[in-house]
């Protein structure tokens, strides 16, 4: 079997056997000529997988190490009988933790606010359950769900009227409830002054021109954006006006990447019906956060584990100041350090924060080896 894979997918060696040939290449450089005589294609979100790419190829299996699939032409794969696998939910923990880091940076009193969640699937659902367990008021909009599943379900307008609005829908431009331009000019106009808009879904969900117009004319709302229209050729002016700007890395955790690969591998093994090379698992060494005194708060603990402001500053320096924004954006993502999720941190002397930290996913102190952070 010949395998073509995005070079930025980790642990690729677990995908091939002794008779397989693996060729790794940058995701944006995967072309129809390259995949023509390949059997397996493994991609990330930067590679558009459709008829122009695969029409003259021998591809039999496509795997995407992503939670979203708007870069995949599913209908075309079906017509060709090409097996497809992806990794829904692989990055849910990381994205939810990104949102909490944004809240800690831009709304220190987030526990007293109302959070509107638009899209309540793998990621939005996890955010919803976490906020509910922390007794934070929530309003949810998701036209595919009902109140039996989500008691706080309400209209889109109600969700947009919250103190914080967090977007977690896929990008779709067809069907009964398309999300392309969902947060359009009119809906941007009705956002309450002082509200915070967070987008970790897809850039095309928001009318970026209308959002920039409001920020330029009124500058009365806060914005945290991780995803952008026309990536990697992003709107620099909008990024400069955003309070938090990052380069599509909200779900880019060390664990999330490997979780995605593990999901794809299981599907690949089932499809091939044979044994592949064993996957060597790295032993985890927990990092320690010590609650020393009353000054430490939940916010401080969250930011000790992951501070989104560091990513914001890194993004501005690496991408927004570069003359070639597209290349800089891809380079930023490719070189992103891959942060660790809360489960990799043990909080000692947690005291009154103990239950809340468990809800957020932090690990109880144990006998395993640690290192301080």
Q: What is the pLDDT of residues 73-121, one digit of tens each?
A: 999 999 999 999 999 999 999 999 999 999 999 999 999 999 999 999 9
Q: Which residue has the higher pLDDT, 15 or 201?
A: 201
> What is d(CA 140, CA 344) in angstroms, rounded to the nearest whole number?
29
Residue 353 has pLDDT above 90, yes or no: no
Query: How far is residue 42 from each of residues 26, 38, 60, 70, measured CA to CA in Å?
Result: 11, 11, 11, 15
What are the two backbone dihedrals, phi and then psi, of residue 372, each rounded to the nearest 5 degrees? -75, 155
When pLDDT is cut at 50, 70 and 90, the band that residue 369 belongs to is very low
The CATH code belonging to domain 2-86+253-272 is 3.40.50.720
> What is d(CA 218, CA 183) in angstroms, rounded to the nearest whole number?
18
Lowest mean pLDDT among 81-90, 130-139, 279-288, 303-312: 279-288
Average pLDDT over residues 18-38: 92
Contact 208, 238 (CB under 8 A): yes
Over pLDDT 90: what percentage of the chain? 80
> What is d(CA 11, CA 117) in angstroms, rounded to the nearest whole number?
34
> What is d(CA 21, CA 270) in angstroms, rounded to the nearest whole number?
19
> What is d(CA 31, CA 35) in angstroms, rounded to the nearest whole number?
7
Is 248 tagged catalytic? yes
Q: Which fold has domain 286-372?
A: Ribosomal Protein S8; Chain: A, domain 1 (3.30.1370)
Over pLDDT 70: what percentage of the chain? 92
> What is d(CA 195, CA 215) in angstroms, rounded to the nearest whole number?
12
> What is d(CA 156, CA 140) in angstroms, rounded to the nearest whole number?
8
Residue of 248, 259, 333, 339 marked catalytic: 248
Contact 22, 57 (CB under 8 A): no
Find the DSSP H helices in 81-184.
92-106, 122-133, 156-160
pTM to 2 decimal places = 0.91
pLDDT value, residue 93:
97
Residues 6+ apart with CB under 8 A from 6: 24, 25, 26, 27, 30, 42, 43, 44, 46, 47, 65
pLDDT value, residue 10:
87
| Neighbour order of strands in the sheet with 40-43 | 21-25, 2-6, 40-43, 61-64, 83-85
For residue 185, what are the β-bridge partners? none
Q: 340-364 in b/e burial notation, b at 16+ Cβ within 10 A?
A: bbbbbbbbeebeebeebbeebbbbe
Residue 267 has pLDDT above 60, yes or no: yes
Rounded to 5 degrees, what angle do the CA atoms 321, 326, 331 make?
Answer: 80
Fold agreement (2-86+253-272, 92-245): yes
Residues 6+ apart with CB under 8 A from 273: none
Residues 6+ apart with CB under 8 A from 294: none
pLDDT value, residue 370:
42
Written as six digits, the tokens of 244 are 């938090």
Is 202 tagged catalytic? yes
Residue of 105, 107, 214, 231 marked catalytic: 231
pLDDT value, residue 295:
52
Segments making up each domain of the chain, as ranges: 2-86+253-272, 92-245, 286-372
Residues 6+ apart with CB under 8 A from 11: 258, 261, 279
When pLDDT is cut at 50, 70 and 90, the band that residue 284 belongs to is low
pLDDT value, residue 282:
53
Residue of 202, 214, 258, 333 marked catalytic: 202
> What is d(CA 105, CA 300) in angstroms, rounded to the nearest whole number?
10
**Superfamily, domain 92-245:** NAD(P)-binding Rossmann-like Domain (3.40.50.720)
Q: How many residues does the chain have?
A: 373
Compute the mean pLDDT over every residue in the chain, rounded to the nearest whole number: 91
Query: How far is residue 9 from each of residues 5, 22, 71, 188, measured CA to CA in Å?
Result: 8, 12, 16, 36
Give the model confidence (pLDDT) of 135-194 as tens digits.
999 999 999 999 998 999 999 999 999 999 999 999 999 899 999 999 999 999 999 999
Average pLDDT over residues 269-277: 73
């Amino acid at each position: 079997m010949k395998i073509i894979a995005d070079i930025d997918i980790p642990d690729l060696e677990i995908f091939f056997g002794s008779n397989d040939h693996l060729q790794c290449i940058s995701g944006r450089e995967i072309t129809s000529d390259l995949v023509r005589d390949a059997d397996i294609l493994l991609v990330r979100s930067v590679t558009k997988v459709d008829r122009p790419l695969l029409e003259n190829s021998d591809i039999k299996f496509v795997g995407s190490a992503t939670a979203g699939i708007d870069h995949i032409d599913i209908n075309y794969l079906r017509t060709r009988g090409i097996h497809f696998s992806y990794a829904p939910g692989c990055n849910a923990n990381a994205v939810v933790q990104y949102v909490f880091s944004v809240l800690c940076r831009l709304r220190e009193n987030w526990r007293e606010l109302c959070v509107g969640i638009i899209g309540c699937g793998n990621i939005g659902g996890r955010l919803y359950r976490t906020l509910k367990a922390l007794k934070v008021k929530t309003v949810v909009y998701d036209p595919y769900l009902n109140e039996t599943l989500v008691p706080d379900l309400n209209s889109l307008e109600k969700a947009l009227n919250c103190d914080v609005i967090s977007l977690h829908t896929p990008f779709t431009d067809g069907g009964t409830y398309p999300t392309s331009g969902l947060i359009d000019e009119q809906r941007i106009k009705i956002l309450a002054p002082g509200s915070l808009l967070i987008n970790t879904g897809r850039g095309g969900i928001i009318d970026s021109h209308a959002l920039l117009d409001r920020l330029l004319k009124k500058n009365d709302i806060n914005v945290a954006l991780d995803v952008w229209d026309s990536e990697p050729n992003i709107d620099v002016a909008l990024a400069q006006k955003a309070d938090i700007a990052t380069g599509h890395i909200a779900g880019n955790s060390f664990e999330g990447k490997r979780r995605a690969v593990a999901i794809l591998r299981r599907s690949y093994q089932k499809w091939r019906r044979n044994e592949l090379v064993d996957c060597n698992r790295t032993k985890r060494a927990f990092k320690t956060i010590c609650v020393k005194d009353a000054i430490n708060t939940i916010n401080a603990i969250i930011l000790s584990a992951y501070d989104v402001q560091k990513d914001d500053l890194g993004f501005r320096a690496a991408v927004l100041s570069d003359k070639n924004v597209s290349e800089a954006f891809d380079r930023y993502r490719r070189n992103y350090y891959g942060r660790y999720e809360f489960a990799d941190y043990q909080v000692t002397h947690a005291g009154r924060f103990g239950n809340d930290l468990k809800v957020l996913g932090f690990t109880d102190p144990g006998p395993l080896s640690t290192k301080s952070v």
